[in-house]
């Protein structure tokens, strides 16, 4: 028994020593403890929801570190967004605001590239679903339109399609698809705008677009689906489930991103809060205000 107690003590001391080897994380421990008080525990999943259909265990902070994620360097630290197809002026406004949001969210320079035509997509990678809904085959976009298109200084490339997407013939649609090893992905605005985008539903459209964009790019940074709390990295089976999810990273996922990118946590929080206020994302602003209040 004494031998077991000594062994356990040595293990605990070893764990503590490992944590203390990173002075930057240690200096931010109070920040993560404080915002952790605002994490909202996930409810028991219902039939049709992501975690009901997919029995995921989640990714701990230690598991994330062990996954050896890509880290920004002086030569590779830019996120690129590539519009594909034709967009209305209001849709283009949403793309520009998404660029602003992604830059704040990841605290990395983000560039919105010139749009690329989707008229080169071959017939075998296009199908019509319902009335006037032309869908693009998402794997084709990844393998052909995005293949080796990431600029040399790019850490991630996310294409945003004007048309709907499908991943394979027996699926109706997909919000997005990404290759995490190649750090490229594609998402679509088609299902985010309630059929017709206008000034009335623009706020909802923007909230959905920044959600899906930050989620997919988060995957490219090796952050897996979150199962710990309400989080932008939660999996989603439907637009309704996406609308009920938070655009905030939970404390565990924030810890992963900070460990990797080493930005100013308080600056990032303030910039996200200001963005949400300026763009009438009221729910997200309220959630971020709770974090701001506990770190003062």
Burial 22-38 (b: 16+ CB within 10 A, else e): eeebeebeebbeebbeb
- Residue 8 confidence (pLDDT): 40
Neighbouring CB atoms inside 10 A of 251's CB total 21
Q: pLDDT below 70 — which residues of the chain?
A: 1-20
User: In Å, what is the CA distance from 61 to each residue of 70, 210, 222?
Assistant: 15, 24, 11
CB 229 within 8 A of CB 190: no
SS3 154: strand
Distance between first and last Cα of the chain: 46
How many angstroms separate the CA atoms of 260 and 192, rounded? Answer: 30
Report pTM. Answer: 0.91
The CA angle 38-249-210, to the nearest 5 degrees, is 130
CB 187 within 8 A of CB 213: yes
- Residue 181 confidence (pLDDT): 84
pLDDT (tens digit per residue) in 208-255: 999 999 999 999 999 999 999 999 999 998 899 999 989 999 999 999
- Residue 16 confidence (pLDDT): 45
**Tokens linked to 220:** 């490219």
- Residue 178 confidence (pLDDT): 86
53 half-sphere exposure, CB direction, 13 A CA radius = 8
Domains and CATH numbers, the chain: 22-294 (3.40.390.10)
Residue 103 annotated in active site: no
- Residue 12 confidence (pLDDT): 42
* H or E, element range at 137: strand 134-137
Annotated catalytic residue, options 53, 216, 241, 282: 216
pLDDT (tens digit per residue) in 91-114: 999 999 999 999 999 999 999 999
Nearest to 98 by CA among 88, 110, 89: 110
Rounded to the nearest integer, the mean pLDDT of the chain is 91
CB 235 within 8 A of CB 51: yes
Q: Which residues contact 79 (CB under 8 A, 6 or more apart)?
A: 102, 103, 106, 108, 109, 110, 111, 154, 155, 156, 157, 158, 217
- Residue 132 confidence (pLDDT): 83
């Amino acid at each position: 028994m004494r031998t077991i107690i000594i062994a356990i003590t040595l293990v605990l001391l070893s764990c503590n020593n490992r944590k203390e080897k990173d002075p930057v994380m240690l200096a931010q421990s109070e920040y993560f403890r404080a915002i952790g008080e605002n994490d909202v525990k996930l409810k028991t999943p219902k039939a049709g929801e992501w975690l009901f259909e997919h029995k995921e265990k989640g990714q701990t902070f230690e598991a994330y570190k062990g996954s050896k994620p890509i880290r920004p360097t002086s030569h590779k630290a830019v996120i690129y967004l590539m519009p594909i197809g034709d967009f209305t002026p209001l849709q283009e406004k949403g793309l520009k605001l998404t660029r602003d949001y992604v830059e704040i969210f990841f605290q990395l320079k983000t560039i919105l590239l010139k749009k690329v035509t989707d008229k080169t997509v071959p017939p075998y990678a296009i199908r019509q679903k319902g009335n006037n809904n032309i869908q693009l085959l998402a794997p084709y976009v990844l393998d052909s339109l995005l293949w080796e298109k990431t600029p040399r200084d790019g850490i991630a490339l996310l294409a945003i399609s004007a048309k709907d997407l499908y991943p394979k013939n027996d699926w109706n649609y997909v919000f997005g698809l990404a290759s995490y090893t190649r750090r490229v992905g594609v998402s679509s605005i088609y299902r985010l705008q309630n059929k017709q985008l206008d000034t009335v539903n623009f706020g909802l459209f923007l909230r959905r677009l920044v959600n899906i964009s930050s989620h997919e790019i988060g995957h490219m940074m090796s952050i897996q689906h979150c199962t710990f709390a309400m989080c932008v990295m939660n999996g989603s089976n439907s637009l309704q489930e996406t609308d009920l999810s938070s655009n905030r990273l939970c404390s565990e996922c924030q810890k992963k991103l900070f460990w990797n990118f080493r930005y100013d946590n308080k600056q990032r929080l303030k910039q996200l809060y200001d963005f949400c206020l300026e763009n009438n994302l009221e729910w997200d602003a309220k959630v971020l205000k709770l974090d701001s209040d506990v770190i003062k």
